Amino acid sequence: MTSYPPFPAGLIEGTVHRFAVRAYFEDTDLSGVVYHANYLRWFERARSDFVRLLGIDQRTVNEAGEGAFAVADLTIRYLAPARLDDGVRIETTCTDLRAASCRMHQKAFREDGLLLTEASFRVGFVAPDGRPRRMPDGWRAAFAPIVSEGKP
């Protein structure tokens, strides 16, 4: 049987989730700089794997018709460009947990430690009709130990 490496879910250290990506040709514009919207894709992947590592099964809850996470607002700052073949580390922290939402802060660092981009997201739990709904109790319990109140 052929073996494959494990899926790259990143890891949680304390209250920080760390996730690695690499800037491939498909991520860049004509000049070899990572296109600005691709940071949002990388941040989404990191957030999804962060909640997966917390034991939250988004797919099952969504398929059961209970609801899903949706980005309610975001603020992003671009500080320096990533370029073709750069290794990029995404760090995610949850700084506020409410009944129907949580705030996450994410930073993208080049592998030499240079801060490239930082963003703040409010992610809300919504019912299938799009209205806000309380997160499942198990989800809130999974987030509770890793919330770093007010510390992005």
- Residue 29 known to be catalytic: yes
CA distances from residue 96 to 76, 101, 105, 113, 119 in whole angstroms, order as listed: 18, 8, 10, 26, 14
Q: What pTM was estimated for this model as a whole?
A: 0.91
What is the assigned CATH class of domain 15-146? alpha beta
Q: Which is the catalytic residue, given 27, 29, 49, 112?
A: 29
- Listed by start position, the domains of the chain span 15-146
- Give which of 49, 37, 48 is closest to 6, Cα–Cα: 49
Model confidence at 150, pLDDT cuts 50, 70, 90, reads low
CB 89 within 8 A of CB 22: no
Q: List the Cα angle 74/53/118 in 5-degree steps.
A: 25
Q: What is the pLDDT of residues 77-119, one digit of tens each?
A: 999 999 999 999 999 999 999 999 999 999 999 999 999 999 9
